[in-house]
Amino acid sequence: MALTALIKEAGGPENFILEDLPVGDPGAGEVRIAHKAVGLNFIDVYQRTGLYPMNLPHALGMEAAGIIEAVGEGVTHLKAGDRAAYAAQPPGAYCEARVMPAAQVCPLPDDISFEQGAAMMLKGMTTQYLLHRTTPLQMGDTVLFHAAAGGVGLIACQWARAEGINLIGTAGTDEKCALALEHGATHCINYRTEDWVAQVREITGGKGVDAVMDAVGKDTFDGSLDSLKPLGMMISFGNASGPVPPFNLGVLGPKGSLKITRPTLFTHISDHATCQQMAQHLFDKVLSGDVDIRIDQRFALKDVADAHRALEARKTTGSTILTL
């Protein structure tokens, strides 16, 4: 049996319930993993509220780290006793242990802690595909990154600095801006007190940025388009302020023949070999010291509702984990 946080209907954080559920044995292509720490991400909020519908009742959580207890037939990259971490579908990480598909579960290097592993897989591989797999970027390019002091943002600030990419961040307080700058952003704009679109234009000498990486959604979408240079790429990868409403595709022409994409991590990591390669790239960045995984909030699994409230209120910085 494993203590599990799940929801039986979509809604607010108060809908979480805790139950002891049977775990079972892994089938072909599966592993059983005992979690040591679990990551918290905004996609969990989208699933809890019903923005991303799912069959209920269901446990939430897409990211965790722990010890492999058993492997099913056909699993060759992991064995019982291995340290492991993952960002993967289906949801279900908010628990002490689970059986899950093995393909996206990755061996965790000994020099990376379980807490770091739980805090970095979804956010770090998201950063990897944003900077390496979505649009061609090279040293000297400039990107605009919203929510630069969040879990993905602080990893992206450091990764961009290591790659020689200029990252202009936005954040909601001066303290969060200072945090982004400390982690490698070349500039950071307080979007609550400044006209961030005008600031981006001023910083870039009126040219605009090569790409925008926007997980905020509705509140920043129009300004993000206006921050791009001609032929720039708009990467909309989240909806923290709500989903982007329908818009006229024709506006991309007069704004500079802009490009737009709505990627998801789970498309990028759906292939086993690609997922393992992306994870290794992330591990290399952390082990080299280029990227430090900052964990600013820890909640016990039983307090998962409070963790969600803090995340939705934008009271968090860096990564948030659930401890077991």
What domains sit in the chain, N to C, each tagged with a CATH number?
2-123+266-323 (3.90.180.10), 135-262 (3.40.50.720)
Phi, psi of 159 (to 5 degrees): -65, -45
Residue-level pLDDT at 240:
85
Q: What is the DSSP string of 149-162?
A: TBHHHHHHHHHHHH
Q: What pLDDT shows up at residue 235?
A: 98
| Cα 22 from Cα 227, distance rounded (Å) | 51
pLDDT confidence band for 317 (50 / 70 / 90): confident
pLDDT in tens, 140-167: 999 999 999 999 999 999 999 999 999 9
CA angle 320, 321, 323 (to 5 degrees): 150
Compute the mean pLDDT over every residue in the chain, rounded to the nearest whole number: 96
pLDDT, residue 265, reads: 97
CA atoms of 311 and 40, how far apart (whole Å):
9
- Residue 221, SS3? helix
Query: 99 is written with which tokens?
Result: 């059986």
Does residue 291 surpass a pLDDT of 90?
Answer: yes
Instruction: Give bridge partners of residue 298 from the DSSP assignment.
Output: 321
Annotate 26-91 with DSSP letters as a single string: --TTEEEEEEEEEE--HHHHHHHHTSS---SSEE--SEEEEEEEEE-TT--S--TT-EEEEE-SSS
